[in-house]
Amino acid sequence: MRILLFVATNVAVLVLVGIVFNLLGMQGILAENGVDLNLRSLLVMCALFGFGGSLISLFLSKWMAKRGTGTCIIESPRNRDEQWLLTTVKELAEDAGVGMPEVGIFPSTAANAFATGWNRNDALVAVSAGLLQRFQPEEVRAVLAHEIGHVANGDMVTLTLIQGVVNTFVLFLARIIGHTVDRVIFKNERGYGIGYYVVSIVAQLVLSILASTIVFWFSRWREYRADRAGADLTTSRAMIAALQRLQMEQGQPQDLPGELTAFGISEQMKEGLAGLFRSHPPLNDRIRALQAG
């Protein structure tokens, strides 16, 4: 599924770029104005940078998560709660068919949890101290099952691949725009003037914002899948109860760093157009989806 989605996304973007170029007659405009940009080489360069950054982030995800949240990994259980946590995660991981992840607790009063890692058999699942203190055991188990669902679905890898595609084409299109403006409007025949760098940076910022809606859309979609996985690994009643408990917690400060928000169990509400940049769907929608079966 991850590879199919990756290939399909690449093909779709390539087709779209080709259609836009043809409809706008970009090749003719570039040729008439002496624009000599090597699109194939540019695309390869942008892919190296776009995917390189995403893959580095993926491989460092566990390390960054531990440092960013202050997560304490449970090596040897020090009390009954830690033993229960390890045992529960082990049971869920076995049921989901994934390797035993590292298990940790991060010092936050907010109710949250996250999963990250570069593959299904080398993941990290962590919960906040606040969630452990205030949630019922079956609700904690459902939250853990939700996070194990992310691991089993390969969501971290898929999100990285999608981000790599988005990064590639943001870099690619921004430099084409900057190159075209520099040659056509500023009439630079050799090298690049200030116009290229300013326009490229502005275009990259604008395109990044627009393209990020694709990444956020996938992030929201994967939450429904993780909820369903959590319900399958426990029960729908327990998963719904956990989401309802999270509703009661809304308004509390969230302590996950920005880069880990998409991997948490929930996020603060955003309204209007800002909803396009939500990493999670509204809890009401998630609950209704589970109730509908």
pLDDT digits (tens, 9 = 90+) for 114-138: 999 989 999 999 999 999 999 999 9
Say how many C-beta atoms besides its own lie within 10 A of residue 284's C-beta: 11
pLDDT digits (tens, 9 = 90+) for 75-93: 999 999 999 999 999 999 9
Is it the case that residue 190 has pLDDT exceeding 50?
yes
Residue 47: what pLDDT?
Answer: 86
**Percent over 90 (pLDDT), the chain:** 43
Q: What is the pTM of this model?
A: 0.80
Residue 195: what pLDDT?
Answer: 84
Helix (H, G, I), strand (E, B) or coil at 105: strand
Under 8 Å CB-to-CB from 143, ≥6 apart: which residues? Answer: 113, 127, 131, 135, 230, 242, 265
- Containing 114, the helix (H) or strand (E) segment is strand 113-117
**Percent over 70 (pLDDT), the chain:** 78
Say how many C-beta atoms besides its own lie within 10 A of residue 119's C-beta: 14
In a domain, 18, yes or no: no
pLDDT digits (tens, 9 = 90+) for 18-72: 555 545 555 445 545 555 567 777 788 888 888 888 888 888 889 989 998 999 9
CA distance 160 to 2: 10
Is it the case that residue 264 has pLDDT exceeding 90?
no
- Domain that residue 127 falls in: 39-293
In a domain, 261, yes or no: yes
> In whole numbers, what is the pLDDT of the chain averaged over residues?
83
In a domain, 6, yes or no: no
Given 82, 102, 139, 147, the catalytic residue: 147
Residue 137: what pLDDT?
Answer: 96
CA distance 250 to 140: 17
In a domain, 17, yes or no: no
Tokens found for residue 145:
């099952």
Q: How many domains are there within the chain? A: 1
In a domain, 7, yes or no: no
In a domain, 74, yes or no: yes
Residue 6: what pLDDT?
Answer: 46
Exposure class string for 222-260: b at 16+ Cβ within 10 A, else e: bbeebbbbbbebbebebbbbbbebbeebeeeebbbeeeb
Residue 192: what pLDDT?
Answer: 73
In a domain, 22, yes or no: no
Residue 139: what pLDDT?
Answer: 97
Quickly state the pLDDT bin for 278 (edges 50, 70, 90). confident
Q: Are 189 and 200 a contacting pair, CB within 8 Å? A: no
Residue 147 annotated as catalytic = yes
**CA dihedral sign, ordered 136, 140, 141, 143:** positive
Say how many C-beta atoms besides its own lie within 10 A of residue 58's C-beta: 20
In a domain, 21, yes or no: no
